[in-house]
């Protein structure tokens, strides 16, 4: 069940001369709330002054009329966070602001660097704005590290064309490895960046004389922006009073995270020009063709299994029905750090519809199984409600490898499928049968080129070299937890 995954972050950038854009940034973050629930923040500028408001909690907990009021200006960037590198503390909330002389800039980051340790060493050797400037990190996130590197490259003397931040970015971006979709702003510009593989999404939209950058097209929809295109892998886009400029800082080799299609992105988002909702329905159809079963009802695990369950029911001819009622006012179960709390959260969050379950043979569809503890409890609830058979179908392959590119999946030994075969997993979960969607079928269901995805969590083939040890706390205590065994990852 993908709720065992700590998700990627979400970012938004708005540039709209003559308008107060803080409310647009707020709405955009609201649409991206599913990508991170730990903290939220907005940095806004009127061309002279930067104001940053950020705090721990959901968007609606951090922002209200009072906290939005001081955010004045025609350009803004925003961020919702779930921690990958750096623990969950206020100091790691974003956007991050860096003062450079009398100027400064703000940065928000979705993704995770894989060379954080090397960069921190290099940063200590970089000359500062003055030779005596110390290295100063206000947080323990790789995003802060990116900000400090940019600050160190920032021109001390203002360029005549005002492109100080742009120049610094062109110097720094080639040094970064891993996944990074960035939005940045100074007093006159908003920037969008994707890493050369485009592992995390970033899109560009147009709104009433201005521009919007966002992690997903669903955020463009909520602010009334018209989708223009995706920011390309290896591209830096700069937006200012003269319009939009595109700078190619690296050759593209697209490898979008396929788990964006499986679970992360909202179903009303488009990726690679394809509907995520439609792709998930096709995953369910493929699953019904691959692993048919005799049953009385197809039901989803709310809400992530919905589209795939619809596809399975349509293809198989088995009636679709609901077996759970979801309490929409309970936070996602994975937010609770204690496993016992997560277990209690399942019963609080999901309640069975006994009349739909009792005496029936069920096909239960979900998008993935990560650690398996939540899924096992769900099966127990269905058994208690009187299901005679439970056939579990998963619309993605076994999740066997940790992610280093923006999802906090923990070490490999935490993953249920890392060292267990499908039959063993079925016994552990207590199901009558279990089937996972094959990788080639999953990739075909997206409608995009199979070569344009990172599927390392399923295949162990990483497009960017990854560390053997946990880098989550590398800027705090060295992050020395072994994530991969001796026979683990390979590079594409």
pLDDT in tens, 299-341: 999 988 999 999 999 999 999 999 999 887 665 444 444 444 4
Would you say residue 187 has pLDDT above 70?
Answer: yes
∠ CA(154), CA(251), CA(461), 5° rounding? Answer: 110
* CA–CA dist 14, 17 (Å, integer): 10
Q: What predicted TM-score, i.e. pTM, was given to this entire model?
A: 0.89
Q: What is the mean pLDDT of residues 238-264?
A: 97
Name residue, tokens 């609201």: 30
Exposure b/e, 304-332, CB count within 10 A at least 16 = b = bbbbbbbbbbebbebebbbbbeeeeeeeb
**Which residue pairs, CB below 8 angstroms and at least 24 apart, start in 408-413?**
408/5, 408/6, 408/82, 408/83, 408/84, 408/472, 409/5, 409/6, 409/370, 409/457, 410/371, 411/470, 411/481, 411/482, 411/483, 412/483, 412/484, 412/485, 412/488
Q: For residue 4, what pLDDT band results from cuts at 50, 70 and 90? A: low
2-254 with 275-446: one CATH topology? no
Q: Is 454 designated active site? A: no
> DSSP characters for 118-156?
HHHHHHHHS--SSTTPPP--SSSSHHHHHHHHHHHHS-S
At how many degrees (to 10) do helices 439-446 and 276-290 cross? 150
Q: For residue 474, what pLDDT band results from cuts at 50, 70 and 90? A: very low
Please name the fold of domain 2-254: 3.60.20
SS3 178: strand
Please name the fold of domain 275-446: Rossmann fold (3.40.50)
Residue-range domain boundaries for the chain: 2-254, 275-446
Q: For residue 358, what pLDDT band results from cuts at 50, 70 and 90? A: very high
* CA 296, chain centre distance (Å): 36
| pLDDT score recorded for residue 81 | 85
Query: What integer best gives the mean pLDDT of the chain?
Result: 88
Q: Phi first, then psi: what are they for 255, rounded to 5°?
A: -145, 60
Q: What is the mean pLDDT of residues 350-364?
A: 97
**Cα→Cα distances 199→104, 339, 375, Å:** 28, 30, 28
Where is average pLDDT lowest: 50-59, 296-305, 474-483?
474-483
User: What is the DSSP pairing of strand 389-394 with strand 433-436?
Assistant: parallel
Would you say residue 193 has pLDDT above 70?
Answer: yes
Active-site annotation holder among 9, 44, 257, 454? 9
Q: What is the mean pLDDT of residues 456-477?
A: 73
Strand partners, 275: 270
Q: What secondary structure letter does DSSP report for 303?
A: T
Q: Phi first, then psi: what are they for 56, rounded to 5°?
A: -75, 145
> Which is higher by pLDDT, 428 or 133?
428
pLDDT in tens, 208-223: 999 999 999 999 999 9
């Amino acid at each position: 069940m993908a709720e065992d995954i700590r998700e990627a972050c979400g970012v938004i950038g708005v540039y709209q001369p003559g308008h107060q854009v803080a409310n647009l940034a707020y709405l955009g973050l609201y649409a991206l709330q599913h990508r991170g629930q730990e903290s939220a923040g907005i940095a806004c500028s009127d061309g002279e002054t930067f104001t940053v408001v950020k705090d721990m909690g959901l968007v609606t907990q951090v922002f209200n009329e009072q906290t939005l009021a001081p955010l004045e200006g025609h350009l803004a960037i925003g961020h919702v966070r779930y921690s990958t590198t750096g623990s969950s503390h206020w100091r790691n909330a974003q956007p991050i602001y860096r003062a450079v002389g009398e100027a400064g800039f703000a940065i928000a980051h979705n993704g995770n660097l894989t060379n954080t340790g090397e960069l921190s060493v290099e940063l200590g050797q970089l000359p500062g704005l003055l030779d005596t400037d110390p290295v100063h990190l206000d947080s323990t996130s790789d995003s802060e590290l990116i900000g400090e590197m940019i600050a160190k490259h920032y021109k001390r003397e203002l360029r005549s064309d005002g492109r100080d931040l742009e120049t610094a970015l062109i110097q720094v971006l080639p040094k970064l490895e891993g996944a990074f979709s960035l939005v940045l702003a100074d007093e006159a510009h908003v920037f969008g960046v994707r890493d050369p593989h485009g592992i995390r999404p970033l899109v560009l939209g147009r709104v009433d004389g201005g521009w919007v950058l966002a992690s997903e097209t669903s955020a463009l929809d909520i602010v009334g922006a018209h989708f223009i295109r995706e920011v390309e892998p290896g591209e830096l886009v700069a937006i200012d009073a003269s319009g939009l400029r595109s700078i190619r800082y690296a050759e593209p080799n697209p490898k979008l995270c396929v788990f964006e299609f499986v679970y992360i992105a909202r179903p009303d988002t488009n990726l690679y020009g394809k509907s995520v909702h439609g792709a998930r329905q096709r995953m369910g159809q493929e699953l019904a063709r691959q692993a048919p079963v005799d049953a009385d009802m197809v039901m989803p695990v709310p809400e992530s299994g919905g589209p795939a369950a619809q596809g399975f029911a349509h293809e198989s001819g088995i009636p679709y029905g609901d077996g759970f009622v979801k309490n929409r006012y309970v936070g996602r179960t994975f937010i609770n750090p204690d496993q016992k709390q997560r277990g209690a959260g399942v019963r609080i969050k999901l309640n069975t519809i006994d009349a739909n379950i009792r005496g029936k043979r069920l096909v239960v569809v979900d998008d993935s199984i990560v650690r398996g503890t939540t899924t096992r409890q769900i099966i127990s609830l269905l058994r208690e409600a009187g299901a005679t058979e439970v056939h579990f179908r998963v619309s993605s392959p076994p999740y066997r490898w940790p992610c280093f590119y923006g999802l906090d999946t923990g070490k490999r030994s935490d993953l249920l499928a890392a060292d267990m075969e499908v039959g063993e997993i079925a016994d552990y979960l207590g199901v009558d049968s279990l089937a996972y969607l094959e990788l080639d079928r999953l990739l075909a269901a997206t409608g995009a080129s199979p070569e344009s995805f990172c599927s390392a969590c399923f295949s162990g083939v990483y497009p960017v070299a990854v560390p053997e040890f946990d880098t989550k706390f590398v800027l705090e205590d060295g992050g020395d937890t072994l994530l991969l065994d001796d026979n683990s990852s390979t590079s594409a």
